[in-house]
Structure 1
Amino acid sequence: MVNKISIVLVLFILGGIGYTLYGFFAVDKNPDIITVERFHGEEPILLNDYIGKKKTILQFVIVPCECCSFSMPFIQDFAREQDEFEVITIIFHGKRKEIQEKFENEYKATHLYGLDLDRSIANHYGANVSPTYVFFDEEGNNLGSYPFIILDATELLQRYEDVYHKFHKGE
């Protein structure tokens, strides 16, 4: 009888250890930080598919936001013209219907964009104001953020290059 209880107890302990290790290594601790919801049942944007693969800029915006509306034309041009970059706009506040109207009909957005209405991604990256830009190099290093309006594609590229060089020179 003692042997059966000992065996069950050992199996129970090993199962607990296995479950704990599985939680640490196999399960993403917060999938909301990497998954950006999209409209119309489209596949979500998985940030891990971009960050660490190429230079990436996350643009955090709210709707409505006049500064953000101002930036959409040059953001789309930048995303289309800069092959070495991926630009992803993440909307972290607004009403779904209004957001959809803005991005589909007014902006006619062609670059990647999606929703973070529970603010998990915005909070993770410290995006508290709109717009906020978070920059990553091709190795996935978070180079820093810029929580201010950017006037055009030239300034966006300059802001990226500034943080890139600062990060890689160790300043």
Structure 2
Amino acid sequence: MINKISIVLILFILGGIGYTLYGFFAVDKNPDIVTLERFNGEEPIMLDQYIGKKKTILQFVAVPCECCSFSMPFIQQFAKEQDDIEVITIIFYGKRSEIQDKFENEYKATHLYGLDLDRSIANHYGATVSPTYVFLDEEGNNLGAYPYIILDAEELLQRYDDAFNKFHNKGE
């Protein structure tokens, strides 16, 4: 006689097999990791216009996220003051209406930002927590990621420089 635990275990195993098969057959094998959607009919941000051409920081955020909200003022200031590093905020989680309200009304965002609600770009760069900062050099090399809160513009620049120097062996 099969007991309840056995039935649950069998269902769990079958669910895992089903999930794996769904991921294998249904997941887009060529996700769009270049196009960042915008609001209000604005032209999308084409990441390949920046990555591989200019030092770039991709800031992955969620709405709502208090740590992400904390960072917005200095991110915008950093983006405005930096000529050599492009900062692009990528929102990979949240409700469209809440995201739009936060970025347009609360943050009054002036730097580059866009939506990745299907998480194709976030998955490509391994961003699973919010905030995560991904650092890229002007050749498009991924210098690494920093999946923690950053306190100010000086720390952001220091984290970028540390990743750059480590990748290019200048920190030894």
* TM-score between both structures, scaled by the size of structure 1: 0.81
Mapping of residues 50-129 of structure 1, within 5 Å: 50-129=50-129
| Displacement of 1:31 | 5.5
Instruction: Report the residue type matching 2:131 in the other structure.
Output: P
SS in 1 for 2:165: helix
For 1:64 and 1:31, locate their aligned partners in 2 and report how far apart those are by CA, in whole Å. Answer: 25
Query: Does 2:130 correspond to 1:130?
Result: yes
SS in 2 for 1:52: coil
For 1:30 and 1:54, locate their aligned partners in 2 and report how far apart those are by CA, in whole Å. Answer: 25
SS in 1 for 2:157: helix
Which runs of no fewer than 5 residues in structure 1 stay unpaired? 1-28
| Displacement of 1:30 | 3.2
Percent sequence identity over aligned pairs: 83
- Contact 2:31–2:120 (8 Å) recurs in 1: no
Query: Which structure: larger Rg?
Result: 1
For 1:142 and 1:76, locate their aligned partners in 2 and report how far apart those are by CA, in whole Å. Answer: 22
RMSD: 1.2
- Contact 2:143–2:164 (8 Å) recurs in 1: yes
* TM-score between both structures, scaled by the size of structure 2: 0.81
Instruction: Report the residue type matching 1:42 in the other structure.
Output: E
SS in 2 for 1:73: helix
Aligned residue pair count: 143
| Deviation beyond 3 Å, 4+ runs, structure 1 | none
Aligned position for 1:41: 41
